[in-house]
Chain A
Amino acid sequence: MKKASILMIIGVSFLLGLFNFPLWNIVLGAPQYPEPLGMNIHIDGIRDMNEFDLQNIDGLNHYIGMRKLPKPEEMWEFSVFPMVIGGMIILGILVGLLGFLGKVDYKWFIGWFMIMSILGVLGMYDFNAWMVDYGTNLDPNAIMKLANPDGTPMSYKPPLFGHAKMLNFDVTSLPATGAWMMFTGMMLTIIAFFIGKSAKKATVKKHVVTAIKVKTNDK
């Protein structure tokens, strides 16, 4: 269980990466942008991939009537996400420590993992909802109003995952370092759960054997 608890603490610690590395990365390349523009989505705000990228993306987006990319203070997510992640890290490390001291068992590890997964899915859902709003809720006085072949107004929601062609831009949206660190860390917590589980089984077996031995000696 000690080994499992240490792994739990290490796994949870990987989430600290989210405070430094971007969670998601969206890259926009076009013929006249051989060096693509890009934005890094961090848990506390959207930042340039290269200096001035956000300003230049906003500059291009104004043609099609998209709002400016949100500043951290303009979206509640960017103040809540760091608190949620921070809280989960504290909780996870606490669970790991208590496991190390034998106060809680391995089931708490999977419990933490499940809460984190649910929060993750909610986060993705929220992120996607924002992108839908951002890409479809356009200024009615936009300079360029384009329609799909079926006559519906064209929308510009970036893909949540993968590549999409939007006008002259190739947009690629993929998880970035922070997300990969979170993924790795969460996998480690699952491994911690299984190690804890098998260690428990072994201990039970040992206890049973000892008990039988004691009984035999009594005879």
Chain B
Amino acid sequence: MKKYRYSITTLLVLALVVASCGDQNGKASSNGALSSSAAEKVYVAPGEQDEFYAFLSGGYSGNLTVYGLPSGRMFKEIPVFSQFPTSGYGYSEETKPMLNTSYGFVPWDDLHHPDISQTNGELDGRWIFVNGNNTPRIGRVNLSTFETEEIIEIPNSAGNHSSSFITENTEYVVAGTRFSVPVPQRDMPINEYKGNFKGALTFISVEPEHGRLDIKFQLLMPGFNYDLSHPGRGESHGWFFFTTYNTEEANSLMEVNSSQNDKDFIAAINWKKIEEYVNGGGGTKIPANYAHNVYDETTHTGTSTMNKEVLTVDPTKVPGAVFFLPTPKSPHGCDVDPSGQYIIGNGKLSADLTIHSFDKMLAAIEEKKFDGEAYGIPILKFEDVLAGTVKSGGLGPLHTEFDAKGNAYTTFFISSEVVKWKLGTWEVIDRKPTFYSVGHLMIPGGNSRKPFGKYVVAMNKITKDRYLPTGPEMEHSAQIYDISGEKMELIYDFPTHGEPHYAAGCPAELLAPKSKKIYRLNENKHRYAVTNPGEARVERDGNEVHIYMSTIRSHFTPDNIEGVKVGDKVYFHITNHEQDFDVPHGFSIIGQNTSELLVMPGQTKTSVWEPKQVGVWPFYCTDFCSALHQEMQGYVRVSPANSNIDLSWSLGE
């Protein structure tokens, strides 16, 4: 009997072991009921972190937003082209120069296409480049501080749209004009556009160590609309491709008049050839006026300088450097697959995608099989360069990205869907609806030689009923699809900020370990910094009053200031003395005609206040910095303009 009991126990134990083995196997396979749950795929548990960073452009917000994938959680809004009262960007004395242009201070732009720096065609996570579409500018954001470090204005450009894409070693960030304009600008009849306007494609060199931008040359192309672009990669490295529309060169009712040609072009630019030409002294310097704004991380200060000259290149002067590839129906996205072999034209007014072959293009150029020319630029024969056509059955292809398994994913704006198709065979593998009218999509690394093809994010133009209604104006919706399997699976839907036109993503481990936690106070070279509270002081220079102030939990030094007069211009230079992660201090004062400041540990920022009334006026810390945050305040006594009260300042007296 005893023996028998033992054997039953043994059997039970065995059964348990077997059962648990089965359980594990079930979980490991992708067919398990649990693993197919969309909720589980996007669920990033409290305290856990996302697998990817996603940088979504803000469109008309002018800024860049940072999200996590797959959770769709927003981490930060990085101000680039728009003033941002949250941090004081564009309001503080240090950052106002960042928004300087040849048109003066421009506090807003339309930010479209983020692109992460690359080395050998792979994401390297040093910087992310973005374009301002309206007042043509390129911005560079540092990916260890997640702050805008540089903005360069693009002269002779308008509607800076086929931008800010980078070559595969970040040699250049490229900015192409969507709207052709007279170059140089002049007073002329609009209807003389045809043949007279120019489309400037600007190649901006990126200094490898610090990322400093410098316009190397501007290629002055025929007056078409240069819509989007991408670099060649791998074998096609050294080339850049731009989609064009309005090859009709219409200047009015463009929606009809620029849509008449059956085919527009993809412009193929051999930039290495032009670089050689320029390095050999080629090109013409013309007068220009454009701002170059640089923010220095150690002085915490931006400076703006005006450049007065730009080197232009006439494409007909560099034989063999520029060709046109006929491409149907006003193509939008211009995308190059990870191998660099296929150049995809997303003909937005058609049902089909046109894929050109880089090898065929080279062969056709070699054999000089041209089909005429446009303004002296050879046009290749459509049939000679065509690699294939994707007959998708969708309508309005806009943009394509790639996974690492030879598949491409294209958004179809009109038919509101993402279509997965195979490179080489051009067959459609899958299609999934989007909600609604998808613009661009993003796969982390999906426009590089090394895509991380796990998720695709589709960014939509229309939201309608996806979320709780918020009146007529709503944020745009985005959807995340799992693309690790043969079929795409919609796993999440989240609202974005502004209007994302494009995005860039990368694995979290590329950026997270090097993300800065503080600025070092002992490296702070700000002109008005106080690196120890003993240096805190107030100085008068005519009617300018400079307050050198420091902050630490939880007081300002000094916090009582007297001797300020009506009519003074008071500069509060606030240095945050914390050297602890995530302990910013804020600053604001009553009646300030500008925004607050949010000062990171070790940083100095300056706010100007022009007191208009006699009285005793409080200032306070706007960031809940500690249990004594409410106590973090001070007073400025403002006396009549003619009073003779001396400046004085104190803390704890």
Q: Which residues of A contact B (CB under 8 A)?
A: 35, 51-52, 55-56, 59, 63, 143-144
Contact = CB atoms under 8 A, between A and B. Distances in A.
Nearest to A144: B627
Q: Which of A51, A52, A55, A63 has the most CB of B within 10 A?
A: A52
Interface in B481-540: 518
B318 to A, nearest CB: 53
A143 B553 CA distance: 12
7 contacts: A51-B579, A55-B580, A59-B552, A59-B578, A59-B580, A63-B627, A143-B628
| 4 A-B pairs with least C-beta separation | A52-B579, A56-B580, A55-B579, A59-B553
Given A35-B581, A56-B580, A59-B553, 8 more contacts: A51-B579, A52-B579, A52-B580, A55-B579, A59-B552, A59-B580, A143-B628, A144-B627
Nearest to A55: B579
A interface, over-half SS: mixed
Nearest to B626: A63
A144 B581 CA distance: 23
A35 B581 CA distance: 10
Interface string B55-87: 000000000000000000000000000000000
A35 B582 CA distance: 12
Contacts of B579: 51-52, 55-56
Pick from A35, A59, A63 the residue with the most CB of B within 10 Å.
A59
Contact of A63 (B518, B552, B578, B628): B628
Contacts, number: 17
Looking at B518, B552, B581, B627, the one whose CB has the most chain A CB atoms below 10 A away is B581
A51 B581 CA distance: 11
Nearest to B578: A59
Contacts of B628: 63, 143
A57 to B, nearest CB: 10
Contacts of B580: 52, 55-56, 59
By DSSP majority rule, is chain B's interface helix, strand, loop, or mixed? loop
A193 to B, nearest CB: 49
Interface residues on chain B, size class: under 10
Interface string B565-602: 00000000000001111000000000000000000000
Contacts of A51: 579
Nearest to A35: B581
Interface in B305-325: none
A56 B580 CA distance: 7
A144 B579 CA distance: 23
A56 B552 CA distance: 11
B314 to A, nearest CB: 56
B169 to A, nearest CB: 34
Nearest to A51: B579
A51 B552 CA distance: 17
A55 B552 CA distance: 11
B517 to A, nearest CB: 9
Nearest to B518: A52
Interface string B539-572: 0000000000000110000000000000000000
A199 to B, nearest CB: 55
A88 to B, nearest CB: 38
Contacts of A35: 581
Contacts of A56: 579-580
Contacts of A63: 627-628
Contacts of A59: 552-553, 578, 580
Contacts of A143: 628
Contacts of B578: 59
Contacts of B553: 59
Contacts of B627: 63, 144
Nearest to A60: B553
A59 B579 CA distance: 10
B354 to A, nearest CB: 52
Contacts of A55: 579-580
Nearest to A37: B580
A151 B552 CA distance: 32
Which of B552, B578, B580, B628 neighbours the largest number of chain A CB atoms within 10 Å of its CB? B580
A68 B573 CA distance: 28
B213 to A, nearest CB: 33
Nearest to B552: A59
Contacts of B552: 59
A34 to B, nearest CB: 9
Contacts of B581: 35
A35 B627 CA distance: 20
A39 to B, nearest CB: 15
A100 B628 CA distance: 65
Contacts of A52: 518, 579-580
A52 B601 CA distance: 12
Interface in B626-653: 627-628
A52 B517 CA distance: 12
Nearest to B601: A52
Nearest to B627: A63
A144 B553 CA distance: 14
A143 B578 CA distance: 19
A55 B533 CA distance: 14
Interface in B263-305: none
A96 to B, nearest CB: 45
Nearest to B553: A59
A131 B580 CA distance: 25
Interface in B103-139: none
A55 B578 CA distance: 9
A143 B579 CA distance: 21
A143 B627 CA distance: 10
A51 B523 CA distance: 14
A219 B81 CA distance: 114
B258 to A, nearest CB: 56
A35 B553 CA distance: 19
Interface in B611-631: 627-628
A59 B555 CA distance: 12
A44 B553 CA distance: 30
B653 to A, nearest CB: 15
A65 to B, nearest CB: 13
A204 to B, nearest CB: 61
Nearest to A32: B582
A167 to B, nearest CB: 11
B523 to A, nearest CB: 13
A55 B577 CA distance: 10
A144 B554 CA distance: 13
Interface string B127-156: 000000000000000000000000000000
Contacts of B518: 52
Nearest to B582: A32
A38 to B, nearest CB: 13
Nearest to A56: B580
A141 B73 CA distance: 44
A63 B552 CA distance: 13
Interface in B157-184: none
Contacts of A144: 627
A144 B626 CA distance: 13
B582 to A, nearest CB: 9
A59 B518 CA distance: 16
A219 B578 CA distance: 93
A61 to B, nearest CB: 12
